[in-house]
Amino acid sequence: MTSSNFSHSFVSDPEDVARYLEALIEGFRKGSIAFKSPKRNVILEPAEILDVSIEAGGRKGRQRLSLNVSWPEKSARKGDKTERGLGLADK
């Protein structure tokens, strides 16, 4: 189990946020997402199947977009896709 966490908050313009999201997209495509700061480095390795949750809305004069993506750690994954309900049974 990974014991390292990465957290970073910042204020930015939409163009910089887009570049950050593009870097995340590239990491998902490559299968490795690296987060680095002066105090901590965390590397995530997304699974083949991901759990995704998106929330959007507004309240008290502010709008918000939340994206949550999760998956089992590599050590907890098994090669058999039947765990996700995607396998075929032998006759």
The whole-number pLDDT of residue 79 equals: 59
Q: Structure pTM?
A: 0.72
- The CA-atom distances, in angstroms, between 29 and each of 10, 19, 84, 91 are 25, 15, 21, 36
What tens digit of pLDDT does each residue of 22-54 get? 999 999 999 999 998 888 889 999 999 999 999
Give the torsion through C-alpha atoms of 27, 82, 55, 45, to 10 deg.
-20
Query: What is the mean pLDDT of the segment spanning 62-72?
Result: 95
Q: What percent of the chain has pLDDT over 90?
A: 62
Delimit the domains of the chain by residue range.
14-77
